[in-house]
A and B are shown apart, each in its own frame.
Chain A
Amino acid sequence: GEDVEQSLFLSVREGDSSVINCTYTDSSSTYLYWYKQEPGAGLQLLTYIFSNMDMKQDQRLTVLLNKKDKHLSLRIADTQTGDSAIYFCALGRAGNNRKLIWGLGTSLAVNP
């Protein structure tokens, strides 16, 4: 079956880098997403990567995809207190009725 796993909590100091990890079982995923949920708000797409890519960089964000190990990571450089949120990994693939498979979310706490 389809499964996406994330560690539930991560705590970092302001200015450090944060690395949020996601492992999955479905190797046919086409798009791999990172969504951010700030307290009391809905989810917002942060970044995504196609399955034919290994890395994507977008300002302070770096997404790494290791298809062999079925491992996706999100690195946030120079983490700020405003980055405190829950980060969800989600996978999409063709023929799945547009359904995304969601991780349980990693709660990132940034300490000053």
Chain B
Amino acid sequence: DTAVSQTPKYLVTQMGNDKSIKCEQNLGHDTMYWYKQDSKKFLKIMFSYNNKELIINETVPNRFSPKSPDKAHLNLHINSLELGDSAVYFCASSQDGVDYEQYFGPGTRLTVT
């Protein structure tokens, strides 16, 4: 059983295109996240949603727009892709409570040419 799944796993596209990455979690968690991991493996939080409400919005270009249709899904749409957007994007989820353990998806490797 996959806990946090992402599609697609790989995405190769040209500059200027618009693309979406989808994430689903079947853990019943209340909070979902998007992270960007660059080529040096540095991990950076982008967004977080709690019960479909945006609670974290780090300094991310407006070209990135997250959407949470329900608390089990958090999608990431990227407009006008740039070379610098090439990275691995991870979705994660966590349950409200006393700890903050996050469960990660397998990642989506985005390559912009």
Q: Mind listing 18 A-B residue pairs with CB under 8 Å?
A: A31-B101, A37-B41, A41-B106, A42-B90, A42-B104, A42-B105, A43-B43, A43-B90, A43-B92, A44-B104, A97-B48, A97-B55, A98-B56, A98-B96, A99-B45, A100-B102, A105-B43, A107-B41
- Asked if A45 lies at the interface with its beta carbon under 8 angstroms from chain B, I say yes
> How far in angstroms is the closest Cβ of chain A from B107?
5
CB–CB A45/B101 < 8 A: yes
Minimal Cβ-Cβ distance residue in B for A96: B100
CB–CB B41/A92 < 8 A: no
Total of A-B residue pairs, C-beta within 8 Å: 60
Identify which of A92, A99, A107 contacts B99 (C-beta below 8 A).
Answer: A92
Chief secondary structure at chain A's binding surface: strand
In the bound assembly, the distance between CA atoms of A98 and B56 in angstroms comes to 9
CB–CB B41/A99 < 8 A: no
Contact (A33, B45) CB under 8 Å given A43-B90, A98-B31, A98-B94: no
Q: Which residues of A contact B (CB under 8 A)?
A: 30-31, 33, 35, 37, 41-45, 48, 86, 88, 92, 97-100, 102, 104-105, 107
CB–CB A105/B48 < 8 A: no
Complex interface residues of chain B between 67 and 83 (CB less than 8 A to chain A): none
In the bound assembly, the distance between CA atoms of A35 and B103 in angstroms comes to 10
